[in-house]
Structure formats: C-alpha cells, structure tokens
Amino acid sequence: MAYGYATHVVILDDDGRVTEVHAAHDSGKVVNPIAIQGQIEGGVLMGMGYALTERFDLKDCVQQVKFGTLGLFRAPDIPYINAIYVEKDELLDVGYGAKGIGEIATIPTAPAVQNAYRALTGELQTELRLKHTYYSREK
C-alpha cells in the first residue's frame, strides 16, 4: 500500500483575488508528467470552486441550479498554478515506484484558500462557500 501526500499554498492579491497556487505532491515516481500536471491543475480548480464560487442547491432532493449558474471558474479567472512533484531517490517496489495522484489533488485547496483569506482578513470562516471574498456575492 502506498499513500500520497500533498500540500497547497494559496496567494491572494490585496483585493482578495487568488493569483497563485503552489501545489506540492508526493505521488512517488512521476511516470507521466503531462498527466500529473493536468490532474493537479484540475484538482486545484475543483477545490477553488468548492471553496469560493460553486453552488448546488437542492430542494426535496431536486437540483435547483442549471449548468450556467453553478459558479464554475471561467478561464480568465484561473490563477497561476505551480505543480511541484516531490520524488525520492528510493522508490517503492510496486508500480514502477508510482503512488498515483487522483483525488488528493483536490483535497488541500479549499483549506488553503480558507487560510489565505484568514491571513488577509483575520476572519476564520468555517463554512463553504466562503463569504466576504473577491468572488462572493456577499462582499
């Protein structure tokens, strides 16, 4: 069994807009750099959406939003994403030393966004979608 590890750091500008995300992942030996880059970038954007913009309201188990109103990030709003691959000299003796990437690319982003806003405003927000952000309607 092999466990991957990850940590993300989110950088905000003075207005509270996410300008950079640094995503470090220990996924073992990187077998396909293009695939892991895409997985990390996609995971970061999913985590940002979860933290900042997306809504999926339900009423009696029926969705109340349509695709255009979900709050998905648009291309001009995507920050610089720096994917950092942590590889060790000593590899695991399974799967060419690869651990994989998968869902772990999404998990650290929302807490990193929350911590960035806490550092900016001093307010600890404990519910997602975060309020009082550059991206929120509740500014």
3-state secondary structure 81-106: EEEEECCCCCCCCCHHHECCCHHHHC
Active site residue 123: no
Structure confidence at residue 68 (pLDDT): 67
Over its length of 139 residues, how does the chain's per-residue pLDDT go in tens digits? 667 789 999 999 999 999 999 999 988 888 888 999 999 999 999 999 999 988 777 889 887 777 666 777 788 889 999 999 988 777 767 777 777 788 888 999 999 999 999 999 999 999 988 998 998 865 4
Hey, what's the torsion of the CAs at 126, 131, 136, 139, to 10 degrees? -160
Which residues lie closer than 8 Å to 18 by C-beta, 6 or more apart? Answer: 10, 11, 12, 48, 52, 79, 113, 116, 134
pLDDT at 69: 66
Tokens of 34: 């293009």
- Helix %, strand %, coil % of the chain (to 5): 35, 20, 45
Token pair 């950088």 in the structure block, residue: 11
Alpha-carbon span 8 to 107, nearest angstrom: 9
The one catalytic residue among 20, 41, 87, 103: 103
